[in-house]
Amino acid sequence: MLSLSRRHALLGVAAVGATVVARRAFAQAAAPGPFTLPPLPYPPEANEPHIDAQTMQIHHDRHHAAYVANLNAAVKDYPQVAAMGLSGMLGKLGEIPEAIRTAVRNNGGGHANHSMFWQLMGGKGGAPTGDLAAAIDRDLGSFDKLKDAVNRAGLGQFGSGWAMVTVDRAGKLAVINRPNQDTPLMDGGRVLFGNDVWEHAYYLKYQNRRADYLAAWWNVVNWTEVAKRYDTARAGTLDI
């Protein structure tokens, strides 16, 4: 029979070995690359009960992580593409080598869209104020009309995609939708905010009821963050 100290020593070795194995597995899963998964800026349960914590975790830790990993894999042998930066790549898809253009479009778009998306959630809903509220009234009629237009854009997007509000350098707003992971960044535009209408964004809680998800989502918008994006867009420094 082993002495107590000997058993402790063996357990210690086993524990160290397991840690090394876990680190190696993690390193393989997250291939090194120029693009990294930004952490959620709040706990995954922050948007309960409207967006459940499990959906947030899977959406961020698996879906967004996969876009980042696939983007890094796509640019691995194309340092000149990686050097363009995310918004640069998406804004000049026609200049991306054909061999990786679709991968950059889908995974770069997914990385940009989700990086934007996490920022503007985790709030308490309500209504925007200040310059942003004035721009909404001016360009879209009213805040209620903006919500209706975004919800209709989301419902009208057949299959997967996004409902978004774009903003130009003059601060002018417009409501659009885009399929898959396409983004107005691909047309040289900028996104003020947007909602993900892929089923992975809502299916666990809302199943096929996309309209209910769209309506509930307004309860978690962080208007302080959206207003910051609005100011940044007008300063010409909004990147993604």
Which residues of this chain interact with Mn ion, rule CB under 5 A? 196, 198
Closest approach of Mn ion to the CB of residue 196, in Å: 4
Spatial contact of 67 and 181, defined as CB atoms under 8 Å apart: yes
Choice between 193 and 198, CB closer to Mn ion: 198
Quote the least distance from Cβ 147 to Mn ion, whole Å: 20
- Only one residue has tokens 């499990």, namely 54
**Element (H or E) spanning 5, and its range?**
helix 4-29
Cis peptide before 49 (omega within 30 of 0): yes
Give residue number: closest CB to Mn ion: 196
Of 117 and 223, CB closest to Mn ion: 117
Strand order in the sheet with 161-167: 173-179, 161-167, 191-196
Measured over the CA atoms of residue 114, residue 118, residue 119 and residue 123, the dihedral's sign is positive
d(CA 187, CA 109) in angstroms, rounded, equals 12
- Between residues 198 and 206, which has the closer beta carbon with respect to Mn ion? 198
Cβ at position 130, least distance to Mn ion in Å: 29
Minimum CB–partner distance for residue 117 and Mn ion (Å): 7
For Mn ion, the closer CB: 52 or 139? 52
Of 196 and 225, which has the nearer Cβ to Mn ion?
196
Contact 55, 131 (CB under 8 A): no
Smallest CA-to-CA distance from 240 within 137, 122, 133, 87 is with 87
Write down the least CB distance from residue 110 to Mn ion, Å: 7
